[in-house]
Amino acid sequence: MAEKSWLQDFPQMERGDLIAIRKTLDGAYRDFSREFGDTIEAFFDPLLTFLVWFEQLLLQTPWWLVLAVIVGLVWLASRSWKLTAGITVAMLAIGYFGMWDNTMRTLSMITVCTFMAILLGIPIGIIMARSNRAQSVITPVLDVMQTMPAFVYLIPVVMLLGIGKVPGLIAVIIYAIPPVIRLTNLGIRLVDKEVLEAATAYGASSTQRLFGVQLPLAMPTIMAGINQTIMMALAMVVIASMIGVKGLGQPVLKSITNQYFTLGLLNGLAIVALAIMFDRVSQAWAKRSQKHLGGAGHA
């Protein structure tokens, strides 16, 4: 048989057609980004200003003042001496090993990303919880966002906005936002039906139900989502450094290309220290503020 059978090889489309499709799509997107790139960049300008301002604030302030504020916040949120002492030691070590500035850059990036993710994620989660149709549309989108390799959606973001902080920020948010959306939705859906029914029976409007019952009762779950979002944002920091986000990710990237094991390890440990700080502090705060929700509480 001279001709290849379609039974042996998968019947493919013509190479030429595929190239044509790619060219058309890439071309269309390039045209789009040339046309609207500036407009979209202008749209994100306030965000950039805020990000730069916050980064400069952390960098310009004397290190001991920043350290004092961080330690103070950790203490206020957790009320645990052990945790506060641990964080202090870790931050001092970071500074001693010369990673203070990069850590501040990453800290500002994570803070802004988390803030944006919460700002966007909770309302989306609420919409999902209120409508089954919204849930069935948004869930697959979230699945794609979580499983699509981060590099893939870095490409269009970079094409559109170039290299820099804002594309990095967008990439991190896309990667990190699904947990807060999912768990807001789940938390609201898991609110005790009878409690919600009671609120309805006493004539609560849907806004009163949302802010008086659903959100407060969903808070532990939402907090778990925020926690996950922070962790994922931290994990994304290294990848985002590929598109020019400064911080702890860049030395790691440099270590990979140059095989500097110690440099990589130290910066990696600094990221871990930040992660532990965010995780423990947010969990301790959540636990303290929701001690009545546990059910079998003891007076």
Partner 1 sequence: MLDQNNELIAIRNLYKVFGRKPEQAMTKVKAGVGKDELLAEHDHTLGLKDINLTINKGEIFVIMGLSGSGKSTLIRHFNRLIDPTEGQILVDGVDVMSLGKKDLEQFRRHKMSMVFQRFGLMPHRSVIENVSYGLAVQGVKKKERLEKAAQWLETVGLKGYEEQYPSQLSGGQQQRVGLARALCTDAEILLMDEAFSALDPLIRSEMQDQLIELQDKLHKTIVFITHDLDEALRLGDRIAILKDGELVQVGKPEEILLQPATDYVEAFVKDVNRARALTVETVMQPPVSRITATTIGEALEQMKKLPEDYGYYVNDDGYQGVVLRETLEKAFAEDADAEVDASVWEPLDAISADAVLETVIPETLETEYHLPVVDEDGELQGELSRSALVEVLGDTTTSEAA
Amino acid type, 173:
I
**CB of 38 or CB of 197, closer to partner 1:** 197
Q: State the minimum distance, in angstroms, from the CB of residue 70 to partner 1.
A: 29
Candidates 49, 56, 136, 205: give the one binding partner 1 (CB under 8 A): 205
Smallest separation, CB 213 to partner 1 (Å)? 6
Q: Which of 37, 216, 244, 268 binds partner 1 (CB under 8 A)?
A: 216
Neighbours of 144 (CB within 10 A): 12
Counting Cβ atoms within 10 Å, is residue 128 exposed (0-12), middle (13-18) or buried (19+)?
buried
User: Measured from the CB of residue 25, what is the shortest distance to partner 1 in angstroms?
Assistant: 42
**Spatial separation of the C-alpha atoms in residues 236 and 245, rounded to whole Å:** 11
298 binds partner 1 (CB under 8 A): yes
| CA 36/CA 155 separation, integer angstroms | 16
| Backbone phi and psi for residue 44, each to the nearest 5 degrees, phi listed first | -85, 0
Q: How far is the CB of 122 from partner 1 (least distance, A)?
A: 17
Among 195, 256, 265, 272, binds partner 1 (CB under 8 A): 195
Q: Determine, following the binding rule CB under 8 A, whether residue 299 of this chain makes contact with partner 1.
A: yes
The DSSP string of 261-295 is HHHHHHHHHHHHHHHHHHHHHHHHHHHHHTGGGGS
Q: Which is nearer to partner 1, 31 or 192 (CB)?
A: 192
DSSP track, 190-206? TS-HHHHHHHHHTT--H
Closest distance of CB 298 from partner 1, Å: 7
CA–CA gap between residue 96 and residue 92 (Å, rounded): 6
Q: Which of 17, 26, 45, 197 binds partner 1 (CB under 8 A)?
A: 197
213 binds partner 1 (CB under 8 A): yes
Among 5, 147, 203, 262, binds partner 1 (CB under 8 A): 203
- Considering only residues 221-260, where is the footprint of partner 1 by CB under 8 A? none
Span near partner 1 by CB under 8 A; candidates 13-21, 64-72, 133-141, 287-295: 287-295
Structure tokens at 186: 């789940």
Is 204 a binder of partner 1 (CB under 8 A)?
yes
Owner of token pair 């301790």: 284
* Cα four-point dihedral sign 201, 202, 207, 213: negative
Among 1, 194, 261, 262, binds partner 1 (CB under 8 A): 194
- Is residue 45 within 8 A of residue 37, CB to CB? The reply is no
Residues 6+ apart with CB under 8 A from 284: 77, 78, 79, 80, 83
Residue window 153-192: x/- pattern of binding to partner 1, with contact defined by CB under 8 A: ---------------------------------------x
Q: How many residues bind partner 1 (CB under 8 A)?
A: 27
For position 294 contacting partner 1 by CB under 8 A, the verdict is: yes
| Interface contacts to partner 1, rule CB under 8 A | 192, 194-195, 197-205, 208, 212-213, 216-217, 219, 290, 292-299
